[in-house]
Amino acid sequence: MPLLGAHLSIRGGLKNIEKQCKYLNCATFQIFSKNQLRWYAPPIEEDDLLEFKKFVAKENISAFVIHSSYLINIASSNDHLRKKSINALVDELRRAEILGASVFVLHPGSPRKPEKVVTGLKRVIDALCRAIEESNVKKVKIAVENTAGSGYLLGKNLHELVSIVEGVEKCGYEIGVCIDTAHAFQSGYTLDDRFINDLYNLLGRKILVVHINDSLTEQGSRKDRHANIGKGHISLDFFESLVNDNRLSDIPFILETPGGLAMFKKDIETLRSMINEKV
């Protein structure tokens, strides 16, 4: 059975995560470790950290996810931005390790030019190897997320994710992937049982997180717009197959759907109603 949860707000501090999680009856969750639209991050307060870790232990949350800030672009051909992005990635990896996250989700970024895909992938691999070595994290694992493919974003297909994973492993480090269902659909994949099989055959245990989102835009749109479960263009049959696939059990399934906590609660209930308890 997957661990169902949602991306929760850190507005007001880490102490507010517990209240949100209890309201949703989360088995997992995803957060930013800092303001996602600023480079600077103040240190995590010791008291907040202790209370947060108490809550995670008390609720027996076996895994939760930190999402990187949106400013990071380790594929950039701009040397200043790329260096700033690597430094920010090092800091955010350390913050994720301090918080006790199991997975750190990162967008691969964009080289900004269509002809720079190959060199962009090389930049991503080099940046990840450098950041992992410099941060010296031991427990948190990076999961590179697939994208809808707009604006020359890397990660628009699964083979680009495989290239990144294999490249980083040549440096001696293990990483994985985060699969966003809306992004896969928007980048052109047909989401059905065959897609799940192909996905697992290609990436297997490298799948560390699933972002389980419906798509407001049509298949192949390259436009990243999320919808609530059953309110977009992805079939409910696909979501039912996904949450019942025992190959993906015990990993975080994170909602990033619109509408705030009330709609997160409804989406979680919808997904839970699909789960076959015998699975």
Show the CA angle centred on residue 276, arms to residues 182 and 181, nearest 5°. Answer: 5
Res 279 pLDDT > 50: no
CA 29/CA 31 separation, integer angstroms: 7
pLDDT digits (tens, 9 = 90+) for 19-42: 999 999 999 999 999 999 999 889
In the structure, what pLDDT confidence band is assigned to residue 112 with cuts at 50, 70 and 90?
confident
Res 1 pLDDT > 90: no
Average pLDDT along the chain: 95
CA 169/CA 34 separation, integer angstroms: 28
Question: What does the pLDDT average to over 66-91?
Answer: 96
Answer with the residue of higher pLDDT: 112 or 73: 73
Question: What does the pLDDT average to over 71-96?
Answer: 96
At 211 the pLDDT is: 98
DSSP calls for 123-143? HHHHHHHHHHHHHT-SS-EEE
CA 199/CA 201 separation, integer angstroms: 6
Res 151 pLDDT > 90: no
Tokens 């492993």 correspond to 169
Question: What does the pLDDT average to over 125-142?
Answer: 98
The count of residues in the chain is 279
Give the residue among 27, 22, 29 at the shortest CA–CA distance from 211: 29
CATH assignment, 3-274: 3.20.20.150
Res 278 pLDDT > 80: no
Res 84 pLDDT > 60: yes
Res 209 pLDDT > 60: yes
At 270 the pLDDT is: 98
